């Protein structure tokens, strides 16, 4: 199974968890790949800091005004950008934008790209 598919599965489980209130790891197939499980668990563990970053970067938008699926897509991408050294930032952004194109409204891909692009620039501009 490709990583793109595993990201999609993680996003959907996180979204379903948010909508239903159930733990997202309970919402995936028992045969789910370790990468899928790591993304779900990592986003769950880091959710507060990921949401703070999304909120800070989405100028003029309250976090709860952003569609739930878009938030989940951005959480997964930010988690990868911040915690997975084996995933290039550009890949995390591209995968998120592609998910937004396929599953969200017409404005979502540009919004997701803008937020994640700002997050990437924050990392580049941070002093070492």
Q: What is the pLDDT of residues 68-119, one digit of tens each?
A: 999 999 999 999 999 999 999 999 999 999 999 999 999 999 999 999 999 9
Q: Structure pTM?
A: 0.93
Indicate the CATH number for domain 3-125.
1.10.940.10
Contact 54, 78 (CB under 8 A): yes
CA separation for the pair 81, 120 (Å, rounded)? 8
């Amino acid at each position: 199974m490709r990583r793109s598919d595993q990201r999609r599965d993680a996003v959907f489980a996180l979204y379903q968890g948010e909508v239903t209130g159930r733990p997202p790891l309970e919402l995936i197939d028992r045969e789910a790949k370790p990468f899928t499980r790591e993304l779900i668990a990592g986003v769950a563990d880091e959710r507060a800091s990921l949401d703070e970053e999304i909120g800070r970067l989405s100028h003029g938008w309250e976090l709860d005004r952003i569609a739930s699926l878009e938030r989940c897509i951005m959480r997964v991408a930010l988690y990868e950008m911040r915690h997975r050294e084996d995933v290039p930032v550009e890949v995390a952004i591209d995968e998120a934008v592609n998910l937004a194109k396929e599953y969200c409204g017409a404005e979502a891909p540009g919004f997701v790209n803008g937020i994640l692009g700002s997050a990437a620039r924050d990392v580049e501009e941070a002093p070492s």
